[in-house]
Chains A and B, each alone.
Chain A
Amino acid sequence: MKNLLIIGARGYGRVIYNLAISCKRYNNEYVIKGFLDDKSDALNGASAYPPVISSVEDYVVQQDDVFVCALGDVEFKKKYTEMILLKGGEFISLVHPTANISTNSFYGKGCLISFNAFISADAIIGDYVTIQPFTMVGHNSDVGNWCHLDTHMFLGGYVRLEDEVTVHTGAIIHPHKKVGRGATVGAGAVVLRNVKEYTTVFGNPAMKLKTE
């Protein structure tokens, strides 16, 4: 039996705790050891949760430990995941039993796939990708590593997200469009054109947010 540690004990950490206890592998392949968070009182004394064991920085990886990273921001998800990887930690993917993963679709390690997510046929999801409830990932789409797909967002067929892309709540990305590395698609945006790397787009049709 593996011991699962959840990185982050704030709001999203508890959401992922609930995902972890909903998965079939819970109590079959892993039990939940606790949270890693530098705020030792992050749970505010809520006794329903397993304890905050240590900060990620101070934690010494044990044999039989496995990890998931429950941080909503791509930058911090990557930072703390890599901290554990450097210590030799192993990440697992959690997939809710109601998530629908179609034929010939694949996801990598360290993914969090929440309830009622739908991954259509022949889609490829990279490593450490967060897929929130009620998302629709179109057929033949290609989602890069570290991406974050928020609730109710929709990717059309053959959409390509490069690494570290964030797609916020309710955004729609038209078929065949490409979103460049590190880009952000705002809530409710309708993406009709390719999105350049490290830019933020918003609105309908989605336009680049200007920084000057």
Chain B
Amino acid sequence: MELKDFVQNFAEQFDETDISEFSANTAFRTINEWSSLVALNIIAMVDDEYDVQIKADDIRSSTTIEDLFNIVKTKVQQ
């Protein structure tokens, strides 16, 4: 799995924030549009796209999109 694709998939869960505002280093909880509903959509996106389940704790322990990418990547490799 590619970090670039993960950032893209992550960004697609937002309606109002422009895709250009997302990078691997984005601290996603600082985005104005971030909400519990977006968090739910991120969990659903990871399940759909990577076939692994992440928990709210995985999101809570991540600061940047890359942090979450690394968690998902570890689960994919298991």
Interface residues of A (CB under 8 A from B): 176, 192-194, 205, 207-208, 210
Residue B54 CB within 8 A of the other chain:
no
Contacts of A192 in B (CB 8 A): 37, 40-41, 44
Chain B min CB distance to A196 (Å): 9
Q: How far is the CA of A192 from the CA of B15 in the complex (A)?
A: 11
Write out, one digit per residue, whether chain B residues 17-45 have a CB within 8 A of any chain A CB (1) or not (0). Answer: 00000000000000000000100110011
Q: How far is the CA of A146 from the CA of B42 in the complex (A)?
A: 31
Q: A176-B15, A193-B13 are in contact. Are A205 and B40 (CB under 8 A)?
A: yes
Residue B5 CB within 8 A of the other chain:
no
Interface residues of B (CB under 8 A from A): 12-13, 15, 37, 40-41, 44-45, 47-48, 51
Q: Interface SS of chain B: helix, strand, loop or mixed?
A: helix
Contacts of A193 in B (CB 8 A): 13, 41, 44-45
Q: Interface SS of chain A: helix, strand, loop or mixed?
A: loop
Number of contacts between A and B (CB, 8 Å)? 18
Chain B min CB distance to A185 (Å): 14
Closest to A201 in B: B48
Are A207 and B47 in contact, with the CB atoms below 8 A?
yes
Q: A176-B15, A193-B13 are in contact. Are A207 and B48 (CB under 8 A)?
A: yes
Contacts of B13 in A (CB 8 A): 193
Selected A-B contacts with CB under 8 Å, 18 pairs:
A176-B15, A192-B37, A192-B40, A192-B41, A192-B44, A193-B13, A193-B41, A193-B44, A193-B45, A194-B12, A205-B40, A205-B41, A205-B44, A207-B44, A207-B47, A207-B48, A208-B48, A210-B51
Contacts of B47 in A (CB 8 A): 207
* Max chain B C-beta neighbours (<10 A), residue from A176, A193, A194, A205: A193
Contacts of B45 in A (CB 8 A): 193
The 5 closest A-B pairs by CB, nearest first: A208-B48, A176-B15, A193-B41, A205-B44, A192-B41
Contacts of A207 in B (CB 8 A): 44, 47-48
Q: How far is the CA of A205 from the CA of B41 in the complex (A)?
A: 8
Q: How far is the CA of A205 from the CA of B15 in the complex (A)?
A: 17
